[in-house]
Chains A and B, each alone.
Chain A
């Protein structure tokens, strides 16, 4: 085998390897959907966040507009403080928007749905969402239904 053919084969190998890495990164992993743009952060207090976790999606009308960037427990008020990183290009959420924790499907992952309000001022860096609905805990619902059945 001549030196040139050997070099060609090695070149093909390296190119195939890099192409595979690239394919895995772009087509298989979520790199292409990770928002790289600027974000602004708003906070919301929930009594119960259920299974919400950092990097959970934040959606408006079902469209991904940001992600949960931090979850803390406020020991003075005994609530969970969730920080939402919303992409800068979605900067027209009225300041009285409502944040609710929903579940995708019956057993799917939990996400925050933003429902726009009617105020003419908008959410911006550091603002606080006042209206926040806790997660619906399936066990609680089932428990309530059962206790109702029993009390009848």
Chain B
């Protein structure tokens, strides 16, 4: 009898351990965020560190955002035109492209690309720093790695996400404009006028900006934590990088639903 119970316990043990470990990590990530917040004021003493990170997180991500934005906008223009032309209302193509990009696709696709391009780089960088004991070396020199390494990266990610999302939406709207107006013959004035008529500054534009701010915060947080908390082996870095992209993408998609529901509620 006892041996049976032992066997059952042996099977359930790892499951319980997994649960405990994930709670432990959740707690650690919250404490991690707290320490990042504490270290943020020190970034203003060394703005150069922040600018350097803004380059690797923001500037290097522009190209992918630009290309993706153009093509997403062009596809929206093409698909939207094909649907709208059936109802003879292709003049509201601007409305469709504008609203989809500003409200949903701009922040969400940018956040996904950001997690893939900038987030994975941040995780791998921190993971390698940990593996090669660079954090310990910094601490030996009485340099707080949070102030010197993590806080500038966090701020850079937080700051560049809204800008990237705005670039994505703007470029996408011009992509849709190119396909709709130049290739398919939607009226130039109608495209912009219909868009302006239906995209509200507070309810659509600002909601999109808020979303991108939240996504930037979450994606950067996850990327940095996964790197900082990685197992210090080459395999660990690989797993941390994968986890960073997967978790950040899932978090963005889930948060997008919650934020949309909240924003529709208030409007």
A-to-B contact residues, CB < 8 Å: 3, 6-7, 9-10, 12-14, 16-21, 23-25, 27-34
Contact = CB atoms under 8 A, between A and B. Distances in A.
Interface residues of B, number: 30
Interchain residue pairs A-B with the least CB separation, the first 4: A17-B163, A20-B170, A20-B166, A31-B201
B166 A30 contact: no
B169 A30 contact: no
B160 interface: yes
Contacts of A19: 170
> Chain A interface mostly helix, strand, loop or mixed?
helix
> Chain B interface mostly helix, strand, loop or mixed?
helix
A21 B106 CA distance: 12
Contacts of B200: 29-30
B58 A28 contact: no
B52 A6 contact: yes
A29 B199 CA distance: 5
A29 B54 CA distance: 28
B196 A24 contact: no
A17 B166 contact: yes
A10 B160 CA distance: 10
Contacts of A28: 98, 102, 169-170, 173, 195-196, 199, 205
23 contacts: A6-B51, A9-B55, A13-B54, A13-B58, A16-B62, A16-B163, A20-B167, A20-B171, A21-B163, A28-B102, A28-B170, A28-B195, A28-B199, A28-B205, A29-B102, A29-B199, A29-B201, A29-B204, A30-B200, A30-B201, A31-B201, A32-B196, A33-B196
B175 to A, nearest CB: 13
B173 A21 contact: no
Interface string B31-62: 00000000000000000100110110011001
Given A14-B163, A27-B192, A30-B199, A7 B51 contact: yes
A73 B209 CA distance: 35
B152 interface: no
Given A6-B51, A7-B51, A24 B162 contact: no
Contacts of B54: 10, 13-14
A63 to B, nearest CB: 14
Contacts of A9: 55, 59
Contact of A27 (B51, B62, B196): B196
